[in-house]
Structure 1
């Protein structure tokens, strides 16, 4: 398929319907307080292992990250994003001009929109496949080596 279903929000070019209250629901939702639901909590841990910590950070006012709120909303309500297998977005914020971004070429993509098209057809055959979300999650949240973790601890102890 040229596209897949995902619980993991990606704000690099998304749209919603004007008659939906999605963004209002997300802003007014206190997701962290809903994590007492064991079934929901287990589902979140399987799909996005660090989401619990990020929701706590939002609750405590340490970060303001709408993308994590949207991921929570999608998982909780069994909703999905439709994502293309190839990016159609040039994320220009990672040249240090974007919000919450530094300089990083990991997200650079070259594309020609005239040559890349996705035809979405609702034939009922598209089903959620967790392996796509796992690949996406691991790309954006790579596991750190023990050496890397140790260096980070030392930097905090000895600034």
Structure 2
């Protein structure tokens, strides 16, 4: 198995960064994997101390085949950091696994990612692999595909990343022209199109909503696990736009994901489970919290 390089994007949260790295170190394939860490520069003088603390910790990391630390002298922001960093590494290495500094992974995360990257490398219908799964209640297959792309612990190939279009206005116009807005919003259960409008207006600088829209419009599929391999620890009020909530918390899978016999098609079960989950969040305080955190997922900026 050819192990894909791993990228972690970090900023000013040393404790979150440490937990993310320590979880990754427990993966069987960590010692066979190259790790690239992009450390963004401080946005304000008040961020300097925490950014420095993160960078001091990065120097102590072991347990990977190779460790490369890229320290930015200025603040690039999350969107620019991810677009540039992913492009740089995937163009060099042909495939990449992407994490941020608040994503704790299952010990089976790297095996799942690398196996799927190998398995679907030549299938042009598949654009990416995803590690996080919402805490849905409906039964799901061991793994399944959905249209589009996602952003909490993911992987892609050079050919997949070529789908990415950073022009939000073009993407929104295409969704409207092709009458796909409702489908893009999971049958109207969640306003992802509004997030895209926000990116165009400058109220957010989301790379992820453009990644989702790019893959969706191209008719490409992303693989999801039937049990989550990623737990986001950033919903604790420590992130730039994050309120404290546990509504998106998923238990990490205690077993490996079996990728044999996965049907390569837009999953009816997966779509139903996601739509049901989104509908459940559309009353009272819960939807406001859900919208806030889901917006964070797609629009975090610094």
TM-score by length of 2: 0.41
Matches within 5 A, 1:8-157: 9-17=149-157, 19-20=158-159, 22=161, 25-28=164-167, 30-41=170-181, 43-45=183-185, 47=187, 49-111=190-252, 115-121=254-260, 123=261, 125-140=263-278, 142-145=281-284
The Cα of 1:28 is off from its aligned counterpart by: 4.1
The Cα of 1:53 is off from its aligned counterpart by: 1.8
Counterpart position of 1:155: none
Tell me, yes or no, if the aligned pair for 2:149 and 2:216 is still in contact at 8 Å: no
Counterpart position of 1:4: 144
Unaligned runs of 5+ in 2: 1-140, 289-302
Relative distance call for 1:137 and 1:71 in structure 2 (3 A) is farther
The Cα of 1:39 is off from its aligned counterpart by: 3.5
Once residues 6 and 110 of structure 1 are traced to their aligned partners in structure 2, the CA distance between those partners, rounded to angstroms, is: 21
Q: Provide the aligned length of Structure 1 versus Structure 2.
A: 144
The Cα of 1:72 is off from its aligned counterpart by: 1.3
Q: Secondary structure at the match of 2:266?
A: coil
TM-score by length of 1: 0.70
The Cα of 1:119 is off from its aligned counterpart by: 2.4
Once residues 72 and 95 of structure 1 are traced to their aligned partners in structure 2, the CA distance between those partners, rounded to angstroms, is: 28
Relative distance call for 1:25 and 1:131 in structure 2 (3 A) is same
Report the aligned-residue RMSD: 3.1
Relative distance call for 1:62 and 1:23 in structure 2 (3 A) is farther
Once residues 104 and 83 of structure 1 are traced to their aligned partners in structure 2, the CA distance between those partners, rounded to angstroms, is: 23
Relative distance call for 1:93 and 1:118 in structure 2 (3 A) is same
- Greater share of residues in strand: 2
Once residues 180 and 247 of structure 2 are traced to their aligned partners in structure 1, the CA distance between those partners, rounded to angstroms, is: 32
Unaligned runs of 5+ in 1: 150-159
Tell me, yes or no, if the aligned pair for 2:148 and 2:222 is still in contact at 8 Å: yes
Relative distance call for 1:31 and 1:82 in structure 2 (3 A) is same
